[in-house]
Amino acid sequence: MHVRACATLLVALSALGPRVCCAEEFAAKDILEDAKLYFTEPVRWDRSDWLTFGGVLVTIAAAHQFDGEVRDHFETGSRAVPNGTDPNSLRDAIPAAAMLAGTWAFATLSDDSAGRVESYTMLEAASFSSITTLALRFAAGRERPSQTPQVNDWRAGGTSFPSLHASAAFAIGTVLAESGGDDFRWIRRILGYGAASATVYLRLHDNAHWLSDTVAGSAIGISTAVFSMNRREYRARRWDISVAPLQGGGVGLAFNLMIP
């Protein structure tokens, strides 16, 4: 797999863990700072982050073992014949779009600044997770189950792994589920994770993705949402990289990290 794509996956999964919190202050000028932190996050991982990342990879690998069985379960009628089409792509994006639009509309109508910040956080998480997913798609090149019955048709120019619908839905759904106060937490989680899970089911039902595609996409979406919701914590981590020539030739690279 392409080195940059691997690094992107590392970034996307870096925030998985128990660090979910409410959305913090957000300004449009911070998007570049957030992007820099997001795409360089692996250099700041600790042992727990690496263990989490390893656990995610194991989960994706385990799901891969059931790719064929899940496809066989859903391939009925017109979906039983590989035709390479994805006629319901727009429909399956509706749950994620509805969560984002609904949050923005409610915040605007009620003049709720926290709701607007939540909407911005959803948009940022969806954008970062989509970039990650597209990079990995280019590297993986996996054919969709609607294109081939072979579960391991990698590097074939396909766009199956990971699922973009799953990553965007879980990025937006996680922000919805974990933002705000605790008074309506269970309602938020039902709506957020429920809509995202429904998106995954639709992609599998329509034979548009393998199971492991949706698991990887979901992990990217969740972890990216956690990153965006904890952006203040990440911004507080000061770091820099310096380059200097070495005696006798060569170049030295120094990395400094300060966590308050």
pLDDT digits (tens, 9 = 90+) for 86-132: 888 999 999 999 999 999 999 999 999 889 999 999 999 999 999 99
pLDDT attached to residue 182: 81
* 50 Cβ contact partners less than 8 Å away, ≥ 6 residues apart: none
Q: Residue 258: count other Cβ atoms within 10 Å of its Cβ.
A: 9
Dump the DSSP string for 149-212: S-TT--SSS---SS-HHHHHHHHHHHHHHHSS-STTHHHHHHHHHHHHHHHHHHHHHTT-S-HH
d(CA 131, CA 138): 11
Of 202, 195, 198, the closest CA to residue 173 belongs to 195
* pTM, full prediction: 0.80
What is the residue type of 186?
Answer: W
Answer yes or no: are the C-beta atoms of 221 and 129 closer than 8 Å: yes
* 191 Cβ contact partners less than 8 Å away, ≥ 6 residues apart: 99, 173, 176, 177
pLDDT attached to residue 215: 97
d(CA 105, CA 117): 12
pLDDT attached to residue 88: 87
Answer yes or no: are the C-beta atoms of 44 and 36 closer than 8 Å: no
Answer yes or no: are the C-beta atoms of 78 and 207 closer than 8 Å: no
d(CA 82, CA 162): 19
Cα dihedral across residues 203, 204, 206, 210: positive or negative: positive
Below-50 pLDDT ranges, the chain: 1-23, 259-260
